[in-house]
């Protein structure tokens, strides 16, 4: 029987195609006048950021745009964005984009409310005050960052990712409008979708999984397995886009409250070192870490939930070891179907770096909830197997 636990979710959410149109009426309730919209160059050049500013002006909000967000946002980006925020003094900040924009926004919001530098907040619940209010308009499916207590910033000096887990960083309003996800190319749809799948799998295998997080993680796996291949094959399939928006959100709630594990710890190290897409690193590592964790008999039992959620049918469900093997095979099949590279060697990763990478991964905050203990050597072995 599990002890008492805390569950965090976002209080106001807008979902579905066209959900952005519901935002102005909500913003009006707060009486804000100034916002900083934090986004990337693509969303700025394609006019989406302008559309968002128009929506904000319907709520009588004057907005400024920062469009310098890049994948795997760095401390330099946070500092650049902060210097603009100090000047314009926004009452709230708006993230427009995927995990990188939302994580940048969380970092900026925490520093604005607490002072100091972003490096001061690495770790678990390091801030004192709640972030400046954040509106997250999500355009990928995804990181689930709009609903989690997590954000990740790359420390350029150390070439490593800082993991922040902080209940003060949670956004106030989340928008998951499938229409904004329509233009994602196949490779981004596949990689971000597999990130969400990894969140759900790691949440189920986490040491801190609860019936609440299992419920969301199981539904997320089932939905991603069904709709991700459709969304990746045909970006205009709005039913698939919409279901992926819900699924990645459910996976986000699951991992935000259960924690992650060794896939993310190892992927953070890879992403920080080589500036590789987060979802791609997870997708390549996921079957190998499942295999590592599944060698523990008590963890094998948990694979029955994953087996069932993947829609696998058969008597293997009753044999934990078999349900683990079949779940891993199905995850590999899904990645292949999505055109995701199979091995780390395909990502131009250098084998000589494995010891350094494992050194970063073993200290990553996500390791604390991994299903099974892992030494430095264990992690090097998993990198080797994935190579």
Number of residues that bind Fe ion (CB under 5 A): 1
Alpha carbon distance, N-terminus to C-terminus of the chain: 39
Residue 345 sits at the vertex; the CA angle it makes with 341 and 351, to the nearest 5 degrees, is: 150
- Which residue is nearest to Fe ion, using beta carbons? 195
Residue among 133 and 193 whose Cβ is closer to Fe ion? 193
Sign of the alpha-carbon torsion through 359, 290, 259, 96: positive
Residue among 103 and 195 whose Cβ is closer to Fe ion? 195
Distance CA 253, CA 251 (A): 6
Site string for Fe ion, 149-188 (x = CB under 5 A): ----------------------------------------
Residue 249 CB, shortest distance to Fe ion, in Å, is: 13
In 10 A of CB 340, how many CB atoms?
22
Residue 131 CB, shortest distance to Fe ion, in Å, is: 20
Q: Hey, which bits of the chain come out as E strands?
A: 12-15, 34-40, 62-69, 92-97, 123-124, 134-138, 150-155, 160-165, 173-176
- Asked if residue 134 lies in contact with residue 93, where contact means CB atoms within 8 angstroms, the answer is yes
Residue among 177 and 195 whose Cβ is closer to Fe ion? 195
Residue among 75 and 140 whose Cβ is closer to Fe ion? 140
- Asked if residue 125 lies in contact with residue 168, where contact means CB atoms within 8 angstroms, the answer is yes
Residue 272 CB, shortest distance to Fe ion, in Å, is: 13
Residue among 135 and 286 whose Cβ is closer to Fe ion? 286
Residue 328 CB, shortest distance to Fe ion, in Å, is: 19
Q: Which stretch binds Fe ion (CB under 5 A): 192-200, 209-217, 229-237, 294-302?
A: 192-200
Q: Which stretch binds Fe ion (CB under 5 A): 29-37, 189-197, 337-345, 351-359?
A: 189-197
- Using DSSP's 3-state secondary structure scheme, residue 47 falls into coil
Q: Which stretch binds Fe ion (CB under 5 A): 31-39, 77-85, 193-201, 232-240?
A: 193-201
Residue 120 CB, shortest distance to Fe ion, in Å, is: 23
If binding is defined by CB under 5 A, does position 103 make contact with Fe ion?
no
If binding is defined by CB under 5 A, does position 195 make contact with Fe ion?
yes
What are 271's two structure tokens?
A: 């992403």
- Asked if residue 165 lies in contact with residue 255, where contact means CB atoms within 8 angstroms, the answer is no
Residue among 127 and 282 whose Cβ is closer to Fe ion? 282
Phi-psi region at 154: left, alpha or beta (left = phi > 0; alpha = psi -120 to 50) = beta
Residue 343 CB, shortest distance to Fe ion, in Å, is: 20
CA of 358: how far to CAs of 29, 262, 382, in Å? Answer: 48, 10, 9
Distance CA 314, CA 121 (A): 47
Q: Is beta strand 62-69 parallel, antiparallel or unpaired with respect to 134-138? A: unpaired
Residue among 195 and 214 whose Cβ is closer to Fe ion? 195
Residue 209 CB, shortest distance to Fe ion, in Å, is: 17
Q: Which stretch binds Fe ion (CB under 5 A): 44-52, 146-154, 177-185, 195-203?
A: 195-203
Q: Which residues make beta-bridge pairs with 15?
A: 176
| Ranges within 241-300 binding Fe ion (CB under 5 A) | none
Q: Which residues make beta-bridge pairs with 33?
A: none
Residue 279 CB, shortest distance to Fe ion, in Å, is: 7
Residue among 23 and 170 whose Cβ is closer to Fe ion? 170
Residue among 56 and 152 whose Cβ is closer to Fe ion? 152
Distance of CA 20 to the CA centre of its chain: 21
Phi-psi region at 257: left, alpha or beta (left = phi > 0; alpha = psi -120 to 50) = alpha
If binding is defined by CB under 5 A, does position 316 make contact with Fe ion?
no
Distance CA 41, CA 57 (A): 21
Residue 163 CB, shortest distance to Fe ion, in Å, is: 11
Residue among 195 and 364 whose Cβ is closer to Fe ion? 195
Interface residues with Fe ion (CB under 5 A)? 195
């Amino acid at each position: 029987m599990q002890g008492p636990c805390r569950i965090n979710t976002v209080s106001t959410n807008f979902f579905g195609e066209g959900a952005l149109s519901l935002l102005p009426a909500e913003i009006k309730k707060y009486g804000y006048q100034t916002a900083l919209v934090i986004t990337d160059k693509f969303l700025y050049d394609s006019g989406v950021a302008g559309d968002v500013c128009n929506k904000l002006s319907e709520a009588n909000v004057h907005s400024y745009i920062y469009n310098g967000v890049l994948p795997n946002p760095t401390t330099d980006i946070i500092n650049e964005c902060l210097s603009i925020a100090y000047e314009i003094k926004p009452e709230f900040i708006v993230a427009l984009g995927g995990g990188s924009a939302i994580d940048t926004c969380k970092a900026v919001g925490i520093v604005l409310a607490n002072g100091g530098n972003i490096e001061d907040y690495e770790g678990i619940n390091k801030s004192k005050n709640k972030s400046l209010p954040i509106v997250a308009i999500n355009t990928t499916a995804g990181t689930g960052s709009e609903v989690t207590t997590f954000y990740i910033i790359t420390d350029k000096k150390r070439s490593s990712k800082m993991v922040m887990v902080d209940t003060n960083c949670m956004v106030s309003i989340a928008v998951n409008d499938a229409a904004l996800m329509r233009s994602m190319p196949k490779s981004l749809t596949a990689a971000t979708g597999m990130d969400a799948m990894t969140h759900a799998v790691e949440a189920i295998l986490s040491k801190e999984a609860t019936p609440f997080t299992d419920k969301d993680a199981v539904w997320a796996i089932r939905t991603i397995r069904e709709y991700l291949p459709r969304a990746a094959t045909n970006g205009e399939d709005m039913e698939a886009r919409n279901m992926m928006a819900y699924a990645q959100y459910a996976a986000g709630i699951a991992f935000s409250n259960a924690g992650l594990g060794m896939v993310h710890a190892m992927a953070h190290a890879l992403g920080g070192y080589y500036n590789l897409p987060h979802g791609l690193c997870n997708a390549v590592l996921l079957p190998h870490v499942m295999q590592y964790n599944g060698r523990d008999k008590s963890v094998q039992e948990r694979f029955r939930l994953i087996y069932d959620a993947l829609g696998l049918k058969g008597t293997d469900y009753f044999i934990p070891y078999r349900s683990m093997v079949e779940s891993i095979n199905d995850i590999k099949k899904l990645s292949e179907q999505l055109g995701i590279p199979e091995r780390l060697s395909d990502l131009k990763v250098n084998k000589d770096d494995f010891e350094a990478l494992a050194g970063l991964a073993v200290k990553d905050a996500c390791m604390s909830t991994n299903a099974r203990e892992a030494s430095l050597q264990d992690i090097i072995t998993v990198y080797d197997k994935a190579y």
